Amino acid sequence: MSRKCPCFQHSVTVEELLQLACQLSPSKLGELIAALSALKEAIIQDQEVRDTTASETSDRKQNDKSAHIAWKQINGCGPYPYLRFREGKKYRSYYLKGLRKES
């Protein structure tokens, strides 16, 4: 899975993200922190899955309920990437615009 986003003219820096994040309310900032933590977990998990064999991967996917990136077909189009994770009792899902699936 590539993490480059062709829709941006330049790479977004941490400083730019912080400038935007400081404008959020405390509750929205908490939601952002949870989403970023889940994204990090999903990226690490994806790397680990690609480093294992196919049989180990299918076993792990059956038992794993942590943060992950789901690729969904919508009305025959896609696949579209969604970050999915649980935050407390809420199940969250965010579309990851620009993320491309590796072949």
The sign one gets for the Cα dihedral 27, 43, 81, 4 is positive
Radius of gyration from C-alpha coordinates of the chain: 15
Tell me what pLDDT residue 79 has. 93
Q: What is the pTM of this model?
A: 0.73
Tell me what pLDDT residue 63 has. 46
With a cut of 50, which residues of the chain have pLDDT below it? 1-2, 6, 62-63
Which of 80, 56, 54, 58 has the alpha carbon at shortest distance from 69? 80
CA distance to 10, 13, 24, 62, 72, per residue, from 33 (Å): 23, 16, 11, 27, 24
Tell me what pLDDT residue 49 has. 82
Pairing of β 68-74 and β 77-87: antiparallel
